[in-house]
């Protein structure tokens, strides 16, 4: 497969000059075309005759199709539209069977939206939750060992493995293909939170074969807040949705006959759509953003981030900071861990002074670049790291 070579796409965004935005893992900026689509959607609502019955279906279906294409799913009806990633997780938790004595496997410090529904499920059915962590105090081989521990934790009593594709705090990548194989070998359901990867990191449902996958749109899909997309496999085809929406039922496009109540749902995963899923402002924003990402391709975006950060990494490592092996992280999201003696709280001040936006997590700085970043952003970051490294040396000298 040839990877698309992308140039910097900053002119497609409204990011102000001088802002070094390395924080897509916090929130992706809207591309200009998505902004315009949202404004047009809001305006439609000012004159309701502009909203036609087909608007309840056409854009939603376009959104399903684009997301399905991004994750290697042939049938767009396998995609449900939700208000957040937690909603898809709750839908999966409601429908997957768990019995007394079972265990549920999660990762250590997983994003809470993929934890609470499982804790409730475990408590209700007498199961236990296993939060599998990386080796303590060992940085070298951390990603590899964490993956090994995760595979070891899955056994014949594991009812559900609910894991991210990459860890939200430091980008550690989980080998979902191997985890999927292990799950199938022991008959366990696999639920993936791909919020921190899909859009910027290639994902292939046909290779991983998860039972469900959720993805909030406001990070790497460069979409709106309060919208998420979820894939559900055939396993969920007879399941119970969280809400009984009119639009999720058979023939819901036949407005005059909506009170001919239907027992049947729409096909595939559409039954799991949330109420008012056709949101006339948010859905067009997401469609416009996904069209751009589809054009750029996740592998093109990943390669852009690789090339952008390639020469920064040796410089950062020389200063004594630790970065995970490329095999166990994405190029779009990774942690930079400080050597002993570096005052990370000072780093916040140094980053702010240079207008660099990135999140601090304990002893790590989380970097999450995207196609709007360029060499000036990286230089500003390296400069901030160098200044705290110097202060660290001074302090310990």
Ligand X SMILES: Cc1ncc(COP(=O)(O)O)c(C=O)c1O
**Which residues in this chain contact ligand X in the complex, by CB under 6 A?**
84-86, 111, 113, 164, 168, 193, 195-196, 216, 228
Cα gap 23→304, rounded to integer Å = 16
Min separation Cβ 49 and ligand X, Å:
33
Nearer to ligand X, 305 or 385 (CB): 305
State which residue, 109 or 343, has the beta carbon closest to ligand X.
109
Give min distance, CB of 231 to ligand X, in A.
Answer: 15
What tokens were used for 371? Answer: 């196609």
Number of helices (H), then strands (E), belonging to the chain: the values are 12, 13
CB 193 within 8 A of CB 173: no
How many CA atoms lie within 13 Å of 378's alpha carbon, on the beta-carbon side?
20
Cβ proximity to ligand X: between 274 and 380 the closer is 274
Enter the tokens of residue 111: 């994003």
Instruction: Lay out the sheet containing 228-232: strands in order across.
Output: 79-82, 228-232, 212-216, 189-193, 158-164, 103-107, 128-132
Minimum Å distance from CB 305 to ligand X? 17
Q: Which residues pair with 106 in a beta bridge?
A: 131
Closest separation between CB of residue 310 and ligand X, Å? 25
Tokens of 66: 């684009």
Query: Which residue number, 289 or 385, has a Cβ lying nearer to ligand X?
Result: 289
- Compute the least distance from the CB of residue 247 to ligand X, in Å: 21
How near is the Cβ of 180 to ligand X at its closest, in Å?
18
DSSP string of 17-53, one letter each residue: TT-EE-BTTT-PPPBHHHHHHHHHHHHHHHSGGGS-G
What gap in Å lies between CA 229 and CA 63, rounded to an integer?
Answer: 9
Nearest residue (CB) to ligand X, 92 versus 385: 92
How near is the Cβ of 89 to ligand X at its closest, in Å?
Answer: 7
**Closest CB to ligand X among residues 195, 252:** 195
| Pick 195 or 309: Cβ nearer ligand X | 195
How far apart CA 343 and CA 197 sit, in angstroms, is 30
């Amino acid at each position: 497969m040839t990877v698309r070579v992308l140039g910097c796409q900053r002119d497609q965004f409204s990011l102000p000059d001088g802002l070094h935005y390395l924080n897509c893992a916090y929130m992706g900026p809207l591309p200009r075309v998505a902004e315009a689509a949202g404004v047009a959607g809001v305006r439609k609502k000012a004159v309701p005759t502009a909203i036609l019955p087909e608007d309840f279906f056409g854009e939603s279906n376009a959104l399903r199709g684009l997301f399905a294409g991004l994750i290697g799913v042939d049938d767009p009806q396998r995609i449900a539209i939700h208000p957040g990633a937690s909603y898809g997780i709750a839908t999966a938790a409601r429908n997957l069977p768990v019995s007394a004595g079972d265990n549920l496997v999660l990762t250590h410090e997983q994003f809470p939206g993929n934890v609470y529904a499982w804790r409730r499920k475990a408590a209700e059915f007498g199961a236990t939750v296993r939060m599998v962590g990386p080796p303590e105090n060992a940085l070298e081989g951390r990603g590899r060992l964490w993956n090994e521990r995760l595979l070891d934790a899955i056994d014949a009593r594991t009812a559900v493995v609910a894991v991210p594709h990459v860890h939200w705090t430091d980008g550690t990548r989980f080998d979902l293909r191997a985890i999927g194989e292990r799950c199938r070998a022991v008959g366990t359901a696999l639920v993936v939170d791909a919020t921190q990867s899909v859009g910027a990191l290639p994902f292939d449902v046909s290779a991983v074969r998860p039972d469900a996958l959720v993805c909030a749109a406001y990070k790497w899909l460069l979409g709106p807040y309060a919208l998420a997309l979820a894939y559900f496999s055939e396993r969920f085809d007879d399941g119970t949705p969280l809400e009984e929406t009119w639009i999720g039922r058979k023939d819901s496009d036949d407005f005059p006959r909506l009170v001919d109540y239907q027992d049947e749902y729409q096909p595939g995963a559409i039954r799991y759509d949330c109420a008012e899923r056709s949101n006339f402002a948010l859905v067009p924003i997401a469609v416009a953003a996904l069209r751009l990402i589809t054009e750029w391709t996740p592998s093109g975006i990943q390669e852009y981030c690789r090339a952008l950060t390639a020469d920064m990494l040796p410089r950062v490592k020389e200063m004594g900071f630790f970065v995970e092996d490329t095999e166990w992280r994405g190029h779009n999201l990774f942690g930079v861990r400080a050597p002993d003696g570096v005052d990370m709280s000072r780093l916040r001040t140094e980053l702010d002074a240079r207008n660099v936006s990135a999140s601090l997590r304990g002893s790590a700085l989380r970097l999450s670049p995207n196609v709007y970043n360029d060499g000036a952003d990286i230089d500003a970051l390296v400069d901030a790291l160098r200044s705290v490294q110097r202060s660290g040396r001074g302090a310990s000298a």
